[in-house]
Structure 1
Amino acid sequence: MVEHIVQAVVEIFTQNRYADKVIERTFKNQRKWGARDRRFFAESVYEIVRWWRYLGALAGFDPTKTAVDTAAVWQIWSAWCYDTHGTLPEWEETKKFDTQNFAARKESISSVAIRESVPDWLYEYGRQEFGEEWNQILHAMNQPAEVFLRANTLCGTREELLRKLKGEEIAVTPVSELDAGLKLLERKNLASSESFKQGLFEIQDGASQMVAPLLRPEPGMKVIDACAGGGGKSLHLAALMKNRGKIISMDVHAWKLESLKERARRNHVDIIETRVIDSDKVIKSLEKSADRVLLDVPCSALGVLRRNPDTKWKLTAEEVQKILILQSEILQNYSQMVKPGGLLVYATCSLMPAENERQVKKFLEHNKQDWSLVEELHTLPHREGFDGFYGALLKRRS
């Protein structure tokens, strides 16, 4: 098992592969593993990736500034194992780990960037944006995320889903801030449950569940989800619209929209039409046609590091600047699809004001005659317990 963990971490850091994809492929190759083995493997990989820099310091080096190889990952795994359990198996690969000076090394780590396990550039970026609060945010983002469900109200109420899940021995509790939200109390393979197969719920973080209601969709409307991805928010919009009206779910990746079609069938949704954005003509053809437009734009994803901790090691300051340009272009161009009098939501799963309120402020400054800000949504993991999310509701005057 440990050899598989080490190999997975090597792939993540040397081949630039995403942790969730590496874990998924390993599961397919290890079909004899039971639920306990799978959980141990996945949690171990995520925890090592999450605490990569801190564990490297405990092992005596900075893995963000040195070459990563199998030997280095074994040292980091040893640091994680010793830090967690206080002992090490007597294996050949673990004999190089220096337990004698472990306590002294741990005591000597004064850098918050190392203690909270982030690259230096990201630590400084966050400090500039949030000041002292950044340390609290970082600490919260290093905790494993809780799992939230959204009851599919096309199939029944949240209370009916609660009873159904109880019968399947899935422990959940209602979330007061969310009309259809439930929090999972004990991790289970939800995808194999009958309720999931019947389309009675979707797995969706609490903050993400706040975005579709912010758009204020109504039955019978024409709604465009212009950066739909896998379609979680499109499905939520369909439920809020009582499956009446029309939703055009768009994305530049056709394969993501194929996944949405499957999910829509399972969710008993038939008002979604998918369109691939393969040219500017797709956007222009829909000018001033929609009552509502949702722009869940590409972003740094720094608000969901609890779920995707490898993002902080793959992202660079240069890439953030490119993302800012792309977001500005999407907001300016895609907003033209909203009818006069219609509403638009600009949303990201980022914490950073540069991607959020400052993007909206810049857009409004350039379009002050046509657009106004109605409402903003901010969530932070150390405050609400949800992912870091931002949403701005804008109204088009003309």
Structure 2
Amino acid sequence: MDNARRTAVKVLGEVLQKGAFSNIVLGRELNKSNLNDKDRALATEIVYGTLKYKYTIDVILNYYIKSDLEKMDGDILNILRISLYQMIYLDKIPEFAVVNEAVELAKRNSIKGSRLVNGVLRNYLRNKDINYCDEKNNTEQLSFKYSFPKWIVNLFISQYGTEDAERILNGLNMIPAITVRVNNLKTEYEDAWKLLEDNGYDIEEGKICLEAIIITKGRNVEDNPLFKDGLITVQDESAMLVAPSMDLEEGMTVLDLCSAPGGKTCHIAEIMNNIGEVFAFDIHLSKLPMIEENAKRLGIKNIKCNVLDATKYDTTYKEKADRVLIDVPCSGLGIIRKKPEIKWNKNTNAMKELIEIQRQIMTNACKYVKPGGKLIYSTCTINKEENEENIRWFIKRHSEFTLEPLYYGESDNIIYHKEGYMTILPDKHMDGFFIAKMIRRR
């Protein structure tokens, strides 16, 4: 028989030791398991919760284990991690049950490992009121409280100040709402609303996007007939703001240079009412079928998919486009609430490499824009080096482009910069995001 905690340990091993994506490996393991719905939900909770609070958990473990955690047996370490997560952050599971289950799991590995697990967990229960970090060190306190590596905490403090940095950390730990975008090619907002209610969903209006509906309760959206029939698609509200920022019109030629999995591409085509051309590119051929499948489900017929390396200039598309979207590869610091392993698989060196790639893409993309056309730059990060500083760098070198202001109404998590671009801070309803719109004047 499969076991929720055993499954969680296996998934965490793939993610933390091998760099796998949590959503992919968890989905794979759950699909091949015989877990019931309750245990599937528990495994999911343990995986994402442990990834979210790994820093804090490891600080506590380091107090009781004097050897280097990373040199420990991976399964034993992850058994300890999921056990502390349950005892600290879940209140429905008795502590004795967590310890017993952990010891039984560890026995499958080794008797020695099970003794270590038993000793550490019982020692923690006897001493759990200990203060595990330096109260006088602000970075250390925030890192421990919100469970973020110190380099990310320091980055946010240096860029946003302590107050907003703490707000960002809190937002990135919130459980994301499920938000869907109504497909105007197939239905009206009011009709989709009624059908969702008829299908047993508790829903509310989106925070800022006109096409957005927030699902607060109900079964898996992908099992819903509205999704299967293409009346709705799952998309975060921050991402929903990209296509409306492009000032799209029917009959335009649009290039989306980093398209997969195609959510923004399809939104572009929907706004254009299937009239005009939308070229969807990605560097990986294997990702193009995702875009095509999304388009087919949504009833979109004007998207053309092809392989393109956005870091290399292709003369085929010189001044071809009315609009060019570059949703560039980024550090993903704005979507940690959905992919908490980002905390552990990114570093400052990797971000510097990304910035070089982002600037290569910007340099090439601007050549595809017609005079009078527009270039839209977006990321799912809130790192200013990848956002504001990249835009300043670009405008300084490309005087033919000027920024156009973006505005979507007042919201407490949106920063409208005087230059015209916008930063979205993460909260319960929206990912951290950045959007800039530039028009080519000549």
Range class of TM-score, shorter chain: over 0.9
Select 2:299's aligned residue among 268, 280, 285: 268
Q: How does 1:166-185 map to 2 (within 5 A)?
A: 166-185=197-216
Give the superposition deviation at 1:278. Answer: 5.0
- Contact kept in structure 2, 1:247 and 1:272, CA below 8 Å: yes
Select 2:424's aligned residue among 343, 360, 379: 379
Change in 2 beyond 3 A, CA 1:64/1:316: farther
Distance 2:129 2:314 in 1: 59
Helix, strand or coil at the partner of 2:404? strand
Q: How does 1:44-83 map to 2 (within 5 A)?
A: 44-61=46-63, 66-67=70-71, 69-83=74-88
- Contact kept in structure 1, 2:380 and 2:434, CA below 8 Å: yes
Change in 2 beyond 3 A, CA 1:71/1:105: farther
Q: Which residue in the other structure is 1:227 paired with?
A: 258
- Contact kept in structure 2, 1:283 and 1:334, CA below 8 Å: no
Select 1:325's aligned residue among 356, 359, 381: 356
Name the amino acid aligned to 2:126: Q
Distance 2:306 2:266 in 1: 15
Residue 19 in structure 1 maps to residue 22 in structure 2: yes
Residue 34 in structure 1 maps to residue 36 in structure 2: yes
Distance 2:315 2:344 in 1: 37
- Contact kept in structure 1, 2:311 and 2:357, CA below 8 Å: no
Q: Which deviates further from its counterpart, 251-260 or 320-329? A: 251-260
Helix, strand or coil at the partner of 1:302? coil
Distance 1:78 1:156 in 2: 47
Helix, strand or coil at the partner of 1:304? coil
Q: Which residue in the other structure is 2:129 paired with?
A: 103
Give the superposition deviation at 1:49. Answer: 0.5
Q: Deviations over 1:101-138 (max 9, x none)?
A: 11224687763212221222222222211121212211
Helix, strand or coil at the partner of 1:335? helix
Select 1:301's aligned residue among 332, 336, 342: 332
- Contact kept in structure 1, 2:311 and 2:364, CA below 8 Å: no
Q: Which deviates further from its counterpart, 92-101 or 221-230? A: 92-101
Select 2:230's aligned residue among 199, 205, 226: 199
- Contact kept in structure 1, 2:134 and 2:141, CA below 8 Å: no
Q: CA RMSD in A?
A: 2.0
- Contact kept in structure 1, 2:183 and 2:233, CA below 8 Å: yes
Q: Deviations over 1:57-78 (max 9, x none)?
A: 2334599963352111121122
- Contact kept in structure 2, 1:82 and 1:88, CA below 8 Å: no
Distance 2:212 2:310 in 1: 37
Name the amino acid aligned to 2:11: A
Helix, strand or coil at the partner of 1:131? helix
Name the amino acid aligned to 1:128: S
Residue 142 in structure 1 maps to residue 173 in structure 2: yes
Change in 2 beyond 3 A, CA 1:307/1:8: same
Q: Which residue in the other structure is 1:123 paired with?
A: 153
Q: Which residue in the other structure is 2:110 paired with?
A: none
Q: Which deviates further from its counterpart, 276-285 or 110-119? A: 276-285
Name the amino acid aligned to 1:313: W
Helix, strand or coil at the partner of 1:153? coil
Name the amino acid aligned to 1:87: E
Q: Which residue in the other structure is 1:354 paired with?
A: 385
Change in 2 beyond 3 A, CA 1:116/1:279: closer
Change in 2 beyond 3 A, CA 1:344/1:280: closer
Change in 2 beyond 3 A, CA 1:152/1:72: same
Select 2:194's aligned residue among 160, 163, 167: 163
| TM-score after normalising by structure 2 | 0.85
Change in 2 beyond 3 A, CA 1:380/1:57: same
Q: Which residue in the other structure is 2:417 paired with?
A: none
Please list every run of 5 or more consecutive structure 1 residues that lacks an aligned counterpart in the other structure: none
Distance 1:210 1:341 in 2: 22
Name the amino acid aligned to 1:291: D
Give the superposition deviation at 1:170. Answer: 1.8
Distance 1:279 1:166 in 2: 42
- Contact kept in structure 2, 1:220 and 1:246, CA below 8 Å: yes
- Contact kept in structure 1, 2:253 and 2:323, CA below 8 Å: yes
Give the superposition deviation at 1:2. Answer: 1.1
Q: Which residue in the other structure is 1:284 paired with?
A: 315
- Contact kept in structure 1, 2:283 and 2:310, CA below 8 Å: no
Give the superposition deviation at 1:176. Answer: 4.8
Count of aligned pairs between the two proteins:
395
